[in-house]
Amino acid sequence: MNLNQLTVEDIKQFADNPDSFEVGLLCYETSSIEQFYYRSGTGITAKVGTKTGVYSVEIRSSGGNVSADCTCAAQDEVCKHRVAVLLYALYGDPDELVGNNSDEVEAIASGSSVASLPDDLEAALRGMGVDKLVEMVLKFVDEFPEVRHLLLSEGNLSPELLQPSQTNLGMVIRLQQEIQNFFEETYEQWIEKESYDEEERYYEDDYEEDYDDEEDYPDLDHVFSLVPTLELPDQINVLWEVVTEAHQYFVEEEYLIGTYEVRTALALFAKAVAAGEVPMPRKQGYIDSVLNLLQWEMFEDESLDGVIIDTLNLICTMPEDYLYVIQHLPEYSNHEDTFDWMADFYRQLGDDENYLRLREANLNQPFQYVELAYYWREQGKVEKYRATLERWVSTGRENHLDLGDQRSNTYYKIRSQDQNILSELSKFYQEQGDLENLYRLLMLRLREYGYSLALYHQLKEVATGLDRWELVYKEILDGVANVPKQLAEIYLEEEEWDKAIALSQNSPCGQFTDLKIAEGVKEHRPQGAIAIYDKMVIKYIQAKTRANYQTAAMYAGTIKSIYLDILKDASLWQGYIDQLRQTYRSYPALQDEFKGL
């Protein structure tokens, strides 16, 4: 095929079959061909803008043979983007044609060919000199980074990568249609559900049946079950359709549909490539397709967090795969975790030197300190494990815990990780029997994050061993002075029964704390417990409903058990219940509930 004398028959032959040509023709008619560059019969570079993204196409011609490459996922066949670029080379902008259906295009095609670039431009380029030409090319690559890979691969692309595969297009097209139907139906159901008025939801008896039954929701199980039966290029086409359809709805409707399906499709995609044992450099195209997803806004959503790196881990089966990813990852991603991903890839390669170089150079967040500490522990270097965690405690936490906006997710995430590190170190020092360092860490946790019963027990044991418990106990009491629930817990723990009862009598503890105090002191101060339970009985009687009378009777039963089982005095109980019945003799429903007492 000669690009200077291109015909529609040439393009049809290049497309390999009518279905591929028709799909490419539709892409030509409906897409935007941008930044089209024709190089005097030797090649074409262009960008194809579609509803699912912008793809770069490179077509090369040498000795009558034409090869092509595209940044879409269809690496082993002539995709629609390549056909569309060739049609653009033949006909130009479809918007400028008289019509744009296939009959009109083919009619115009007879005798059509691509005009050569003016001789003066070619002469100007040849006379520019190597240095100047290289400078221009580098500027072009800066503007269009994806061209870098095309230029670098010009001399060593595998011929297999450029040959159109013999695929079962009928099956592929049917599965792609099923995928499109899935997203359309899912989106329509979402729209219908969102438009359901909140008040109508409350009163509509069939709402839960309509929307909560899983059988009402479409899925892609049928598609995913058939994918492994296809050849590798066809699997890629089908699975990539899931990803691009989800991206289309995300961009156009600002709603992410099918996160489970996207995750499944990418996992199957990676496993298919890995199982196919695709060698380098042919495999680079598949890896580039995954790396390119890092620039899609859709994958910034929390529900898809980590899916791209998981896919890369599945697709990389050889050291050269990981090295390629490490080399090109910064070109595709400015994500804050990029260097963490690279460090992890080095670690999987067993390249300790580069792992440590990256990890030490990007040691900011608490989870990074933990990762490095675990690395040292795995290496059997316990002191370096301890020292790494202590570096966070001494310097790292001071730089990151004061984050300003305490409502942000980042703030709470870092504080949670910080607590884990303090707990990790505390456990380490406890195992080592290092009471001084353990005490230091426990006091830091107390002052930074406050009281908890588990921490209280740890501190009491350690501070007692260091003869410091009296001072620590006072500091803890001062810290919880305005929190009756925690104060009551400490009084009960220390068997300060009278202080606990006084707290219930004099402070607004709340029912839960009052009952906890009553339960805690009843064996030691039964009369104090009876007074608390009696307060509950009166409270529920005065609420004046049958349900509240039942609760009052329950607490009266607890008072009965204290009189009979602890005080061993049935007469006191009988006097209490008789007085209660007499006081509320005009409450027939209450009297009915008291019959069993």
The strand pairing partners of 37, in sequence order, are 45
Looking at per-residue pLDDT, the higher value among 3 and 462 belongs to: 462
121 band by pLDDT with thresholds 50, 70 and 90: low
**What is the C-alpha separation between 508 and 3, in angstroms, rounded?**
88
- As a whole number, mean pLDDT of residues 489-503 equals 95
Strand partners, 56: 47
pLDDT of 519: 95
Q: What is the pLDDT of residues 204-244, one digit of tens each?
A: 444 444 444 444 678 899 999 999 988 888 888 899 999 99
CB atoms within 10 A of CB 128: 13
Determine how many CB atoms are found less than 10 A away from the CB of residue 305. 12
C-beta separation of 56 from 43 below 8 A: no
In this prediction, residue 402 carries a pLDDT of 56
Segment 175-209, tens digit of pLDDT:
989 999 999 888 888 777 766 544 454 444 444 44
Among 24-33, 157-166, 325-334, 491-500, the range of highest mean pLDDT: 491-500
Mean pLDDT of 357-384: 92
Q: Which of 149-163, 243-257, 458-472, 562-576 has the lowest mean pLDDT?
A: 149-163
pLDDT of the residue at 404: 46
Residues 6 or more apart whose CB falls under 8 angstroms from that of 393 comprise 421, 422, 425, 441, 444
Q: Examine the pLDDT at 114 and tell me if it is beyond 50.
A: no
Using DSSP, state whether 69 is helix, strand or coil: strand
pLDDT for 105 equals 46
Query: What's the confidence (pLDDT) of residue 113?
Result: 39
pLDDT above 80: residue 411 = no
Cα–Cα nearest to 74, from 237, 193, 222, 274: 237
pLDDT computed for residue 409 by the predictor: 66
Q: Which residue has the higher pLDDT, 400 or 3?
A: 3
Kindly tell me if the per-residue pLDDT of 40 is higher than 70: no
Higher pLDDT pick, 403 / 218: 218
Predicted confidence at residue 123, as pLDDT, reads 61
Residue 487: predicted pLDDT: 95
Would you place residue 173 in the very low, low, confident or very high pLDDT band (cuts 50, 70, 90)?
Answer: confident
**Where are the domains positioned within the chain?**
3-117, 165-317, 363-432, 451-596
Placement of tokens 């390249």 in the chain: 351
Burial of 100 (0-12, 13-18, 19+ CB in 10 A): middle
Sheet containing strand 65-70, strands side by side: 32-38, 43-50, 53-62, 65-70
Nearest 5°: the CA angle 331, 336, 337 is: 85
Q: Which one is predicted more confidently, 417 or 110?
A: 417
* Residue found by looking up tokens 């002052």 in the block: 447
Rounded Cα–Cα distance for residues 355 and 334 (Å): 19
* Rounded alpha-carbon distances, angstroms, from residue 545 to 228, 539, 548, 587, 592: 65, 12, 5, 10, 12
Q: Flag whether the pTM goes above 0.75.
A: no
CA separation for the pair 188, 191 (Å, rounded): 5
Instruction: Give residue 253's pLDDT band: very low, low, confident or very high (50, 70, 90).
Output: confident
The predicted pLDDT at position 168 comes to 64
Residue 147 has pLDDT above 60, yes or no: no
pLDDT score, position 51 = 74
Q: Residue 290 corresponds to which tokens in the numbers above?
A: 């995954």
Q: pLDDT-based confidence at 39, cuts 50/70/90?
A: low
* 3 state SS of 220: coil
Q: What is the rounded CA–CA span in Å between residue 180 and residue 452? A: 53
d(CA 71, CA 48): 10
**pLDDT at residue number 458:** 95
Q: What are phi and psi of 322, to 5 degrees?
A: -65, -40
Identify the weakest region by mean pLDDT among 190-204, 364-378, 542-556: 190-204
The mean pLDDT of 239-251, rounded to a whole number, is 90
Phi and psi at residue 232, to the nearest 5°? -50, -50
Q: How confident is the model at residue 98 (pLDDT cuts 50, 70, 90)?
A: very low
Whether residue 56 has pLDDT greater than 90:
no
The whole-angstrom distance between residue 80's C-alpha and the CA centroid of its chain comes to 32
CA 572 distance to own-chain centroid: 64
Distance CA 518, CA 529 (A): 4
Report how far apart, in Å, the C-alpha atoms of 370 and of each of 31, 367, 433, 562 are: 49, 5, 22, 53
**Model confidence over 424-446: pLDDT tens digits?**
999 999 999 999 999 999 999 99
How many other C-beta atoms are found inside a 10 Å radius of the C-beta of residue 81? 26
φ and ψ at 220, to 5 degrees? -115, 25
**Closest Cα to residue 32, out of 48, 45, 51?**
48
Mean pLDDT for the stretch of residues 349-375: 92
State phi, psi for 315 to the nearest 5 degrees.
Answer: -80, -25
Q: Band of the pLDDT at 72, cuts 50, 70, 90?
A: confident
In tens, the pLDDT along 319-347 reads 999 999 999 988 888 777 889 999 999 99
Assess whether pLDDT exceeds 80 at residue 564: yes
What average pLDDT does the chain have? Answer: 82
Q: If you search the block for the tokens 């997710």, which residue do you land on?
A: 409
Whether the CB-CB separation of 175 and 240 falls below 8 Å is answered with no
Give the per-residue pLDDT at 12. Answer: 86
Q: Rounded to an integer, what is the distance from CA 553 to the centroid of its chain?
A: 52
